[in-house]
Amino acid sequence: MQFKNTREFALELDKSDDLSRFRESFHIPKQKNGEESIYFCGNSLGLQPKQTKEYINQELDDWATLGVEGHFEAMNPWMPYHENLAETTAEIVGAKTHEVVVMNTLTTNLHLLMVSFYQPKGQRRKILIEADAFPSDRFAVASQIQFHGGDPETDLITWKPREDEHTPRISDLEEILNKHGDEIALIMIGAVNYYTGQFFNLKKITELGHKQGCLVGFDCAHGAGNAPLNLHDSGSDFAVWCTYKYLNSGPGSLGGCFVHERHAQNLDLPRFTGWWGHNKETRFGMRDDFDPIYGAEGWQLSNPPILSMAAIKSSLDIFKEAGFENLRAKSIHLTSYLEYLLHEMEGDRIEIITPTETKDRGCQLSLAVKDADKSLFETITEKGVIADWREPDVIRIAPVPLYNSFLDCYKFVEILKESM
Ligand SMILES: *Cc1c(COP(=O)(O)O)cnc(C)c1O
């Protein structure tokens, strides 16, 4: 499509967008002057669906009137509550229903799955991550290496971009693996890098890793609800994510994880266990040996927090109604429009470091600001843009197809221009 750099054109795009009505389903934060903010931080904390309050109130009401009976008698019985989330979650991340479960929080899940999938043996002891991995991921993998008696200085390998490039190349990963593959126990990559917005080819990375005998897992914090992950087809061994970013479930809400079905009944894997991962038929027998549930549910530890799950259900119901494929199609269009508007700007103070090919990114564009001048970010913030600044020099802009508009993109670039 031929884009135009006018407010009228942005409004036209919104008018012909079948998904634009979903914006109404969300609370859009307001500026001090009462106008709606231009919210581009769904990659950090997704906005609140208006119906979430009702979903949570339903559980509070059932708790008030039923007490413990709510486990079976609530409108949405608490005992199997997490099972209601699996189907839509599976659709969004491209997995089979029994391959996913909503539980714990992201970094906790990462540790739990590394207990199972990071098994250093002989000379195969290393973990490979991407350069500029999210700090929590780096801490988690480094501490797992230490836990197994290794030294992150030597056992943590990073896949880096070439000099003067912003994002690492798959051919360089292949080279590392050809040289060091037999020393690497686990490849753990952020499926969509939080800093650059690069969406990696999960299937390719998994194939390259498996060819060398490595296990492969992904942190999909920035992928879930944003990019088509196709986790099952990627063949990866496991994945983890949070639900408070693109999945709009509220601050600190539960995470999710994926365990490929080839491991669904793999009793050889070490795992940390709890009663909620145990066979549902005999869970309340209280005396049996651990008998894991088939699939990802077998990694659960505790009975889950229903109030947080209610918020997740609220958001997932919106995803279901909108359809993830439709959202992705709009997302590509929306981000391409933002990219076009940024290219129309004069000067060279801003450089988009996110890959240009749509298959290599989600909705986020990362803008490197020349001379790491943070005052530009501060100015646009004052003018009503909610985005974020990531050290050393990046403004991250995430137009989310569920609630951002083409007009948001237009207004943002206008504000950016007058702020320079
Ligand atoms: C947001 C994010 C986290 C945060 O982890 P929590 O355990 O949810 O606090 C970790 N890793 C990545 C890649 C993230 O984007």
pLDDT in tens, 199-236: 999 999 999 999 999 999 999 999 999 999 999 999 99
Do 285 and 333 lie in one domain? The reply is: no
> Domain of 286?
82-303
User: Could you tell me what percent of the chain has a pLDDT over 90?
Assistant: 93
158 Cβ contact partners less than 8 Å away, ≥ 6 residues apart: 128, 129, 130, 131, 133
Do 294 and 389 lie in one domain? The reply is: no
98 is in an annotated binding site: no
Judged against a pLDDT cut of 90, whether residue 287 lies above it is answered with no
Q: Is residue 165 included in any domain, yes or no?
A: yes
**Residue minimizing CA distance to atom 13 of ligand 1:** 134
Q: Is residue 126 included in any domain, yes or no?
A: yes
CATH number at residue 17: 3.90.1150.10
Do 258 and 401 lie in one domain? The reply is: no
User: How many domains does the chain contain in total?
Assistant: 2
pTM: 0.96
Do 109 and 207 lie in one domain? The reply is: yes
What is the structure's pLDDT at 209?
Answer: 98
Instruction: Give the pLDDT mean for 259-274.
Output: 95
Do 240 and 328 lie in one domain? The reply is: no
Ligand 1 pocket residues where CB is under 6 Å: 105-107, 134, 136-137, 190, 194, 219, 221-222, 242
What is the structure's pLDDT at 9?
Answer: 98
Do 131 and 254 lie in one domain? The reply is: yes
What is the structure's pLDDT at 288?
Answer: 76
Judged against a pLDDT cut of 90, whether residue 31 lies above it is answered with yes
pLDDT in tens, 118-132: 999 999 999 999 998
Cα of 3 from ligand 1 centre, angstroms? 35
136 is in an annotated binding site: yes
Do 39 and 173 lie in one domain? The reply is: no
Cα of 106 from ligand 1 centre, angstroms? 6
Query: Is 92 within 8 Å of 248 (Cβ atoms)?
Result: no
Domain boundary among 241, 269, 303: 303
Judge if the upstream peptide bond of residue 392 is cis by omega within 30 degrees of 0: yes
Half-sphere exposure of residue 68, counting CA atoms within 13 Å on the CB side? 0
Quick check: helix, strand or coil at residue 219?
strand
Q: Is residue 411 included in any domain, yes or no?
A: yes
What is the structure's pLDDT at 194?
Answer: 96
pLDDT in tens, 82-113: 999 999 999 999 999 999 999 999 999 999 99
Predicted confidence band of residue 47 (pLDDT cuts 50, 70, 90) = very high
DSSP string across 48-105: PBTTHHHHHHHHHHHHHHHGGGHHHHSSS-STTTTHHHHHHHHHHHT--GGGEEEES-
How far is 364 from 333, CA to CA, in rounded Å? 12
